[in-house]
Structure 1
Amino acid sequence: MELTQATVNDLLAQLGPGDGYMYLPTDLDPQALTDLLANRYGAPCTLVLDGFTDPTVDDSRGAALLVPFEDRAVKIRAWAYGDQWVGTGTARDVEGVERPVLVVAHREVPEPVAVAPDEDDDVDWMERLIQITGWTQPAQRPGMDWANMESRLGTALPSDYKRMVETFGVGAFDGYLDLNQEPWTHLREDGLLIWAGTEHEDLYCWRFDGDDPDRWPVVVRSFDNEDVTFDCQAAEFVCRVLIDPHHPFTMARYFDTHWFMNYRKSD
């Protein structure tokens, strides 16, 4: 079997949208399949390694992927993608032969909490963002040296942005909105710092025109070099972009469920 992204599409189509699994030919390279899926879904988490299941694995971390193999799983890597878990690795079949496997299972995603346009300032938008994305992993970059970064940049940074980076790390919301791990300064002459962007070349920025970074407005510099200003913080902006179909930069028209694609390399 020649492994390509088209092959992966065919295999996933055979499994369908619900729960399913298959043993693959023994001559297939399981690492090659893992790499193809990682190119598509981002960095995986490890559920089983050398026959030992991570004791922290539960329903919120893909435990449903292990059900078909009982205690025969040898190595299973997993991805959360929208309302589905996807896993691959190796497991022993009923005859005890270790073989590559591909498995999918339904993933429960919390219903996005409605975002009203007139919500008050007491909303914790980072907690809202965690709910919307169904994020269950531990903080990815808890040891960020913000003092050093802010010293290099010559300015303090918004607190919600720092929480986003610490919580989610390197990756993209819905595999589309890339979160910068350090603000880009390419537009500094225009009074803008860039904290995120999309494959459509929209740049998500702050206009740093005050001493309190938590009051900086979000500015979208579009691909045609026009600026659109939003009187909100970065986390609130992302929440509204994800689930408000009427937002001018909405992603709700393209994605029914929302997730964060982690680009962190697995161990």
Structure 2
Amino acid sequence: MELTQATLSDLLARLGPADGYMYLPGELDPQDLTDLLAGRYGAPRTLVLDGFTDPTVDESRGAALLVPFEDRAVRMRAWAYGDRWVGTGTARDAEGTERPVLVVAHREVPELVKAAPDEHVDWVERLVRITGWTQPAQRPDVDWAEMESRLGTALPSDYRRMVETFGEGAFDGYLDLNQEPGTDLGEDGLFIWAGTEHEDLYCWRTEGDDPGRWPVVVRSFDGQDVPFQCQAAEFVCRILVDPHHPFTMARCFDTHWFMNYREGS
């Protein structure tokens, strides 16, 4: 079996939309399949390594992928992709032979509940839930004091939490999260915190002394500025799931995830 992205798509289609799994030919290198899935969904989470299951694995972290194999999973890597868990690795079959496997399982995706104007909402936590993010914090040791000293300003706390939590990568493999705000538009009073392949730049207008009140401004590819009275994490949540948002991604992606550009745990 020659492994390509087309082959992978065919295998996933054969598993269908419901829970399912398949044993693959023994000569197939499981790492090749892992690499293909990582190229599609980003860095995986390790559920099982050398027969030992991560004790933190539960329903919110892909436990459903292990159900078909009981205690026979030898290695298992997992990805959250919208309403689906996808996993691959090796497991022992009924005869006790270790073989490569591909498995999918349903994942519950929380809805983005509307919040009252005066309600405190943890938008970073909502973003974690929307994307099915299960990795540990990717950049917990960012030296914000040093960065803010160089930039000459404090930064919004929700942005710092997004960088610490998700690290280097892109939401839906499309919206790149800057690991340090870009100051290219500083003369316009704008700091760039994210961008897309369509050349839209997501910025803050750095007005006032409280970064927590900086509004989001989209600098579109044609140089137009569109303001939004919200913070960065809320903006990302809304463009992911609201099909009526002016910069929605919901029309392009019916599942939401974060593609981590670095190898995860």
TM beyond 0.5: yes
**Matched residue of 2:187: which SS?**
helix
- In 2 relative to 1, CA 158–266 (structure 1 residues): closer, same or farther, beyond 3 Å? closer
Q: Please name the residue that 1:83 is paired with.
A: 83
Shift, 1:245, TM fit = 2.2
| Aligned mates of 1:128, 1:97 — CA distance in 2 | 42
User: Given residue 96 of structure 2, which amino acid in structure 1 is its aligned partner?
Assistant: G
- In 2 relative to 1, CA 4–224 (structure 1 residues): closer, same or farther, beyond 3 Å? same
1:57-96 map, 5 Å: 57-96=57-96
| Aligned mates of 2:219, 2:79 — CA distance in 1 | 32
**Matched residue of 1:152: which SS?**
helix
Aligned residues of 1:206 and 1:216 also touching (Cα < 8 A): yes
Q: Please name the residue that 2:222 is paired with.
A: 224
| Aligned mates of 2:210, 2:152 — CA distance in 1 | 13
Shift, 1:49, TM fit = 0.4
Residue 11, structure 1, aligned to residue 8, structure 2: no
- In 2 relative to 1, CA 43–109 (structure 1 residues): closer, same or farther, beyond 3 Å? same
Q: Please name the residue that 1:48 is paired with.
A: 48
Q: Give a deviation string over 1:12-36, Cα, whole Å, max 9, x none.
A: 1111111111111111111011001
| Aligned mates of 1:67, 1:123 — CA distance in 2 | 34
Aligned residues of 1:202 and 1:220 also touching (Cα < 8 A): yes
| Aligned mates of 2:34, 2:220 — CA distance in 1 | 35
User: Given residue 10 of structure 1, which amino acid in structure 2 is its aligned partner?
Assistant: D
> Which segment is superposed worse, 250-259 or 54-63?
250-259
Q: Please name the residue that 2:100 is paired with.
A: 100
For structure 1, list consecutive stretches of 5 or more residues without a partner in the other structure: none
| Aligned mates of 1:196, 1:85 — CA distance in 2 | 27
Q: Give a deviation string over 1:109-159, Cα, whole Å, max 9, x none.
A: 12221356xx23633333333343344444332222110111121211111
Compute the RMSD of aligned alpha carbons: 1.8
| Aligned mates of 1:35, 1:251 — CA distance in 2 | 26
Residue 177, structure 1, aligned to residue 138, structure 2: no
Residue 29, structure 1, aligned to residue 64, structure 2: no
Aligned residues of 1:126 and 1:160 also touching (Cα < 8 A): yes
Q: Give a deviation string over 1:6-62, Cα, whole Å, max 9, x none.
A: 010111111111111111111111101100100000000001101111111111111
Task: State the TM-score, normalized to the length of structure 1.
Answer: 0.92
Q: Give a deviation string over 1:158-208, Cα, whole Å, max 9, x none.
A: 111112212222222222222111112222232211101112221101111
User: Given residue 40 of structure 2, which amino acid in structure 1 is its aligned partner?
Assistant: R
Q: Please name the residue that 2:160 is paired with.
A: 162
| Aligned mates of 1:14, 1:5 — CA distance in 2 | 14
Q: Please name the residue that 2:264 is paired with.
A: 266
Number of residues of Structure 1 aligned to a counterpart in Structure 2: 265
Aligned residues of 2:45 and 2:134 also touching (Cα < 8 A): no
1:111-260 map, 5 Å: 111-114=111-114, 119-120=117-118, 122-260=120-258
Aligned residues of 1:110 and 1:134 also touching (Cα < 8 A): no
User: Given residue 218 of structure 1, which amino acid in structure 2 is its aligned partner?
Assistant: V
Q: Give a deviation string over 1:215-246, Cα, whole Å, max 9, x none.
A: 21111111122111112211221222122222
Quick one: percent identity of the two aligned structures? 83
**Matched residue of 1:25: which SS?**
coil
